[in-house]
Structure 1
Amino acid sequence: MYECLLHHETFSRLEARLKPFSDRISPVTVSDSGEIGRPWGEAACDALIAHGNADVWFSGAARAFGKYLYAADRLDFFQSSAAGLENPFLQKIGEKAQAYASSHVQSDAIADWVLWAGYDWFGNGAARRAAQAAKEWRNVHFREIQSTHWLIYGFGHIGEAVGRRLKGLGAHVTGVRRSDQVSPFADRIVHPNDVSADEIGQADAVLLCCPHTEETENLADADFFAAMKEGSLFSNVGRGALVDEAALLKALDAGRPAHATIDVTREEPLPADHPLWTHPGVTLTAHTSALTSESRKRNDELFLENLSAFLNGEPLRNLVDAKAFADQSV
């Protein structure tokens, strides 16, 4: 018998579908106030399995959830709703868990966020809103997405989801990744070491959706921004540490890039006095690009699928090699 640690809202959504496993799991719930619940009562359990999802990470339950995990003698299976592994908290979980599965089902939500950023910038959304606010009936010219060239760093699940949408709209897409495998969602694939200043300067939009590693720390620095085209858009849905934020602010003041739309920052939550909040060249969201009802549903389905597979000794989707945690731990 396993304890199964979940946020109480996740459990409420899935209780009926967890019932078939009632002879093998005993749910343990964590509320936003940190209260621990046992909705099916106490049971003698040998080890723990857990699901860490947006209900946990974006609520007051995170601290109590983490403490329960750390205190467990055995963590046999952990299902994460995140794709990345470099977060120190996830590193510790990955080192402890006998089996750790990640998730890529949020890629479509994040890709839609990127399209929103592109449409708003190239569609001259700020001028449209200003005209409405001023009650001015005037022409607002804009640029079609099909005329734009995008440079996407990190052409994995998220990058390809973005590329698929952009290619469908007729845009030109250059994907940056270590693998030279061709993709139907990119016109070109470039190795990170081969991205030149000229390559950056040809792009109307530069998107970062790669993981944070020693190699990608401050990838977007002063030289990077200086190479960007006038009028270009910079977007980051990867990790805040990919960007030298002081250099970004100076670059925005100099007009290269012309605008930045970012969903991740080096410090989260971002302090109220940070200039990214108020800079006129920045559109900022609070690490919420994956938070759609559809993404939540897909993560629920992935957890249930992997829970069944784990309990039945079958292969897990998105199982992470234990070496990944050893390689990234610091």
Structure 2
Amino acid sequence: MNIVAVTGMDLTYLCEHMPEDLASRVHFHWFKNANEASKHIPEADAILTAGRMNPEIMKQATKLRWIQTLSAGVDKLPLQELNERNIVLTNARGVHTVQMSEFTISLMLQWVRRSNLLHDQQQKHVWDHQIAFDELYGKTLGIVGAGAIGEAVARKAKAFDMTIIGLNRSGTPLPAFDRTVHGEDGLQQLLSESDFIVLLLPSTSKTRRFLTKDHLGLMKKSAFLINLARGDVIDEQALTEALQEGKLAGAALDVFEQEPLPTNSPLWRMDNVIMTPHIAGSSARYTERASSIVYHNIRALLNGDDMINVVNLTEGY
């Protein structure tokens, strides 16, 4: 089987730790860009990508049966074409659980312990021991998207004695949550009751602009919003205005409607916004975790077994 990886990600671990039973049956080629990979694409049975696909690759890959993306999100891939050509798509769902749940907790602590202000005052040699701080203890955390990452966030938040509300599609109770809700009524309850709201939704046709201006109006003025999902799951302009007008206390944003965020965006200059450049899922162990999914799926394709993390091309996740 011919597998072509086209990504700037470091796949050294994946290549060096390929199990022997796979290495003897697979021709694995890794290239940093599509131009370098071009002569191998026509013979590729499978392609590895970091989440994007050059349209020219799809035209050239006439033998393609399977695409493995090393991202969880698949919104940048040609799902309709894959569906029409009966190409299986699998993602890296599950590899972000540890780092994204840790990152969420760190952002909430950064907010209540005012880490940004403390850092600024250190740079200015300001000694002020009268700064007022808040706590996570006793606060309510609403998690919009109570999947694997959401459950990991909930478990960690429980260590801080927080109350956890989760939104999922069915409202099915989950062990790490005090309460789970579903539907528009459930979303409104979550937003109105939570001190912290974390967005962990995939980007699909059903979740774009999932949170509207009206939804933002339901939140407490003291609430803090964290978006680690995709920039298009919320009305960014409405969020910016709510932050500017004091209708929302603050936000931590790792994703944006346009990335990189344009330099003229007012979000860059707002003291009540913590910004990061789409790195919540980054970790030194990322490739190691993703490799186990890749190895399983290579073996499954070779042996005719079930692959894991198969994406529903119609639903988009």
Same fold per TM (> 0.5)? yes
CA distance 1:227–1:193, shift in 2 (3 Å): closer
* 2:45 match: secondary structure: strand
Q: Which residue of 2 aligns with 1:74?
A: 63
Amino acid at match of 1:17: H
* 2:153 match: secondary structure: helix
Q: Which residue of 2 aligns with 1:318?
A: 309
Amino acid at match of 1:296: T
Amino acid at match of 2:28: P
- Deviation per residue, 1:105-154 (Å, 9 max, x gap): 11221112211211111112123223322323332332222222111111
Match status 1:35 vs 2:54: no
Match status 1:275 vs 2:266: yes
CA distance 1:215–1:11, shift in 2 (3 Å): closer
Match status 1:108 vs 2:105: no
CA distance 1:223–1:26, shift in 2 (3 Å): same
CA distance 1:86–1:9, shift in 2 (3 Å): closer
Amino acid at match of 2:263: A
Distance 1:157 1:290 in 2: 13
- Deviation per residue, 1:147-187 (Å, 9 max, x gap): 22111111111211111111122111100111222111110
Q: CA RMSD in A?
A: 2.8
Q: Which residue of 2 aligns with 1:51?
A: 48
- Deviation per residue, 1:267-313 (Å, 9 max, x gap): 22322222222333222222211111122220122212221222222
Amino acid at match of 1:111: S
- Size of the alignment, in residue pairs? 314
**8 Å Cα contact 1:154/1:176 also seen in 2:** yes
Name the stretch that deviates more: 21-30 or 106-115.
21-30
CA distance 1:69–1:159, shift in 2 (3 Å): same
**8 Å Cα contact 2:171/2:181 also seen in 1:** yes
Amino acid at match of 1:68: I
Identity of aligned residues (%): 25
Q: Which residue of 2 aligns with 1:177?
A: 168
Amino acid at match of 1:30: F
Amino acid at match of 1:204: D
CA distance 1:101–1:201, shift in 2 (3 Å): same
Match status 1:297 vs 2:297: no
> How much does 1:74 deviate?
2.1
**8 Å Cα contact 1:2/1:24 also seen in 2:** no
> How much does 1:214 deviate?
4.1
What does 1:13-28 align with in structure 2 at a 5 Å threshold?
13-18=13-18, 20=20, 21-28=22-29
Amino acid at match of 2:49: G
Name the stretch that deviates more: 131-140 or 203-212.
131-140
- Deviation per residue, 1:174-208 (Å, 9 max, x gap): 00111222111110001132236554232111111
* 2:244 match: secondary structure: helix
Q: Which residue of 1 aligns with 2:72?
A: 83
- With normalisation by structure 2, the TM-score equals 0.87
> How much does 1:46 deviate?
5.5
CA distance 1:11–1:144, shift in 2 (3 Å): closer
What does 1:245-284 align with in structure 2 at a 5 Å threshold?
245-284=236-275
CA distance 1:326–1:213, shift in 2 (3 Å): closer
**8 Å Cα contact 1:30/1:37 also seen in 2:** no
What does 1:97-176 align with in structure 2 at a 5 Å threshold?
98-104=87-93, 105-139=95-129, 140-176=131-167
* 1:27 match: secondary structure: strand
Amino acid at match of 2:314: A
Distance 2:198 2:251 in 1: 10
Q: Which residue of 1 aligns with 2:211?
A: 220
5+ unaligned residues in a row in structure 2: which ranges?
Answer: none
Distance 1:9 1:222 in 2: 37
